[in-house]
Amino acid sequence: MIDIFRRKNCNESEAENAALALENEALKKQIQELLTLDETGVFAELDQLLKIILNKALIICDASASFFSLMGEDPTKLNIRVNNSVTLEELETLAKKFTLEYIKWTETEAEVIEIDNFVLLPLVRRHRMIGLIGLKIDKSSVNNLHDLLPLLASKSAASLESAMLYDKMFQRLLVLSNVFILGKEIVSNIELKSLVDKFLSIASDGTGSEVAGLFLVKGRTDLPYFTRLQKNNCNLDFAPNTLDGYTELIQAVRSERKLRMENNLENTEFAEFEVDKVPGTKLRNTLAMPL
């Protein structure tokens, strides 16, 4: 009877482990599919992306409370951007203890930091912590999630880094567009071409772009009254049969009055005219914004 009972317990344990392994594989696949910029998109407001990532973490880890912190000038201090059900008292305790834990982390770069009943996931890019996900998880669940938590952190860090880059680029372009508009209005005697060339040069440098273009339009007219294309600070013309660069993508940005970020242009609806509209260059990623 004892041997039979042991074998039964052993079989039940093996079945439970197999079920847990299958569940973990399914969750890993879900993380791979969900935590990508294809699904989260590029947002003018970074907090929108943070909420999406945190919601994914809550669902996957079944946490009772959570928070998202971005690293500020002083990385030892928590900079809470999103908070789900974490009390002020808990946050104060975490903030005090995190200072010491961060110093330890710089030496070990541990994948998980545990403080009291919270599990903290450092979001790391190139050995630098750029963010932190805090999850209030039952301690018995942590072992079951030991394979999932680093994967969740890795995918979240990749999405966060890209979104932070695009957010920074957007803010720079927004400032530049205001400078351009004000400059055009205030300095009425300056030649338009030289002003546009300077604007495009700064925009290219500020966003790390190889190609930059500007289309000036009036009211409801169909076509731009002025177009300028610059590649590596040299002016050139758009390729033939591309409406002088005023393609469907640019027209969509004008009509919607919203920023558009298209990655892998060859796989988008705009591929036919967008990819080859700059001579000698195959466009891959495009950031277009209305001024």
> What pLDDT band is residue 192 in, cutting at 50, 70 and 90?
confident
Place of tokens 């209305």: 290
Over residues 103-116, the pLDDT tens digits come to 999 999 999 999 99
Higher pLDDT residue, 145 or 186?
Answer: 145
At 147 the pLDDT is 74
Report the CATH number of the 12-164 domain. Answer: 3.30.450.40
Domain-wise residue ranges, the chain: 12-164, 190-288
> What pLDDT band is residue 6 in, cutting at 50, 70 and 90?
very low
pLDDT surpasses 60 at 233: yes
Mean pLDDT rounded to a whole number for the chain = 78
Which H/E stretch holds residue 151? helix 148-186
Helices 46-61 & 148-186, crossing angle to 10 degrees? 170
Distance separating alpha carbons of residues 213 and 246, to the nearest angstrom: 10
Question: What own/partner pairs with CB < 8 Å and gap ≥ 24 does 223-226 have?
Answer: 226/192, 226/196
At 100 the pLDDT is 94
> What pLDDT band is residue 101 in, cutting at 50, 70 and 90?
very high
Distance separating alpha carbons of residues 47 and 31, to the nearest angstrom: 20
> What pLDDT band is residue 118 in, cutting at 50, 70 and 90?
very high
Distance separating alpha carbons of residues 64 and 136, to the nearest angstrom: 6
Distance of CA 55 to the CA centre of its chain: 15
User: Does this model's pTM top 0.85?
Assistant: no
> What pLDDT band is residue 28 in, cutting at 50, 70 and 90?
low
Distance separating alpha carbons of residues 67 and 27, to the nearest angstrom: 21
Q: Are 120 and 44 in contact (CB under 8 A)?
A: no
